[in-house]
Copies of this chain bind each other. A is one copy, B any other.
Amino acid sequence: MCELLGMSANVPTDIVFSFTGLMQRGGRTGPHRDGWGIGFYEGRGLRLFQDPRASSESEVAQLVQRYPIKSEVVIGHIRQANVGRVCLANTHPFVREMWGRNWCFAHNGQLADFAPQLDNYRPIGDTDSEAAFCDLLNRLRQALPEPVAVEQLLPTLVSACAGYRQHGVFNCLLSDGDWLFSFCSSKLAHITRRAPFGPAHLKDSDMQVDFQAETTPNDVVSVLATEPLTDNESWTLYQPGEWRLWRGGECVAQGITD
């Protein structure tokens, strides 16, 4: 299994604190030694850092922890391989261009008996996760030949995710840089931080941050993770089958599938 990290904010925000917590689980406080990756949107551009090595030992991960990249949407992942060998091509998040935007995807879980038809988007590596991502984009493209608002994508998106869930565990994060879509089949948590901001303390590292000193009163920042990253705040757990759409730090749509 793997762990997911997502962020949606209404101002460019650095995710160094949460990323530091997640990285500890990559070989130190957790067993996810088989690579890690994180994508930061900068406008329509996407800055992607990945390494098939354990995050707790990766020089690139150290750079990301030192380097306060500010972004409004972030998707991160640490991997404990089950399907697909340990290599760069199998390292999340996965990226494809659709409709002139970077689509970024990360998956936690495992799908059995899953062999979608090859179409426009094809997997480069051999994970079930990338196969699901390609299938998802192929379905969206078949359903909607030209770009539409995300609200019009939601029925196809949610129904595809509900379908993948029939094959096993399917927790995922997906974004086109504007919005962040999240689907929970078994485990996902979120927290929204807004004024008055307080201190937060990482579960996985003796690190504390006072968000009051780092933010303005109008900032809204939501963080999503497989398991809560801090031990002194109140995270909300998703229900199995629950999806949420985030934009500018706020949950703008949500629902539960059977």
Contact = CB atoms under 8 A, between A and B. Distances in A.
Interface of A: 42-48, 50, 52, 59-60, 63, 67, 87-91, 95-97, 99-102, 118, 120-125
A47 B50 contact: yes
Contacts of A97: 96, 121-122, 124
A72 to B, nearest CB: 13
A100 B134 CA distance: 10
A108 B203 CA distance: 48
A70 to B, nearest CB: 12
B96 A122 contact: no
Copies in the complex: 2
A89 B121 contact: no
Nearest 3 pairs between A and B by C-beta?
A45-B88, A45-B89, A100-B122
Which of A59, A88, A99, A102 has the most chain B CB atoms closer than 10 A to its own CB? A88
A100 B123 contact: yes
Contacts of A88: 42-43, 45-47
A67 B122 CA distance: 31
A50 B91 CA distance: 19
Contact of A122 (B99, B121, B123, B124): B99
22 contacts: A42-B52, A42-B87, A42-B89, A43-B88, A44-B89, A44-B125, A45-B52, A45-B87, A45-B89, A45-B91, A45-B124, A47-B50, A59-B63, A59-B67, A96-B97, A97-B121, A97-B122, A100-B123, A100-B124, A101-B124, A102-B124, A120-B120
